[in-house]
């Protein structure tokens, strides 16, 4: 069974995107082994601390490398991607050895697919930005800009999202395309 590593672009405890990730995980049951990347402790990218490689950076890189594919599930922040996620992508886009741009960067050739839940845009601006960054850093983005969901109206009162049958079908189709690509 393939290993899919889910990366949630929100650190919020009750995150709607974490809930969406859990929904995706359920729909992958029996089809893939799912784990989550914990990158809350990643330092801010700063070239002064790139070498020697900080411990958290090394761990995150190795978890990404052991996965067959990444599924990024992210909110939209100001029509772009959250800074925590950009920080992670910046770290994995860098060479592993000082002064040696050929020392394989983690992001090269990694298969990735994208989803997110947000306001009226359905995270379309974030997913477009994410698509461009991922392609730029050498990843292979599968299923184009992926699936975007819009919050159900009562999500803000209940703190819980509900996934419509239509969105569920889109996510299942995305999962099928992604699994076939791995």
Which 11-30 positions form the footprint of ligand FMN (CB under 6 A)? 12, 15-17
Number of residues that bind ligand FMN (CB under 6 A): 13
Binding to ligand FMN (CB under 6 A): which residues in 106-145?
A: 118-119, 121
Burial zone of 27 (CB within 10 Å; 0-12 exposed, 13-18 middle, 19+ buried): middle
What DSSP element (H or E) covers 178?
helix 165-181
Which residues, in sequence order, are CB contacts of 167 under 8 Å at separation 6+? 147, 149
Closest to ligand FMN by CB, 139 or 149? 149
Q: Which is nearer to ligand FMN, 43 or 159 (CB)?
A: 159
Least distance to ligand FMN from the beta carbon of 109, Å? 28
Phi, psi of 93 (to 5 degrees): -90, -5
CA–CA gap between residue 44 and residue 87 (Å, rounded): 6
User: Does 159 engage in binding with ligand FMN (CB under 6 A)?
Assistant: no
Query: Which residues ranging from 63 to 102 are in contact with ligand FMN (CB under 6 A)?
Result: 75-79
| Residues facing 72 on adjacent strands | 7, 114
In the complex, the residues that contact ligand FMN under the rule CB under 6 A are 10, 12, 15-17, 75-79, 118-119, 121
């Amino acid at each position: 069974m393939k290993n899919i590593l889910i990366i949630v672009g929100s650190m919020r405890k009750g995150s709607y995107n974490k809930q969406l990730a859990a929904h995706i995980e359920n729909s992958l049951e029996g089809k893939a082994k799912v784990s989550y990347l914990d990158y809350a402790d990643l330092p801010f990218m700063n070239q002064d601390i790139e070498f020697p490689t900080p411990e958290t950076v090394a761990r995150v890189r190795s978890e990404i490398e052991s996965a067959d594919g990444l599924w990024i599930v992210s909110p939209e922040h100001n029509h772009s991607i959250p800074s925590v996620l950009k920080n992670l992508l910046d770290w994995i886009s860098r060479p592993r050895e000082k002064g040696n741009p050929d020392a394989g960067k983690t992001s090269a050739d990694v298969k990735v697919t994208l989803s997110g839940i947000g306001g009226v845009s359905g995270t379309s601006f974030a997913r477009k930005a994410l698509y461009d960054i991922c392609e730029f850093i050498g990843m292979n983005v599968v299923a184009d800009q992926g699936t975007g969901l819009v919050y159900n109206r009562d999500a803000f009162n209940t703190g819980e999202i509900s996934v419509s049958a239509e969105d569920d079908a889109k996510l299942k189709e995305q999962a099928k395309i992604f699994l076939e690509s791995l």
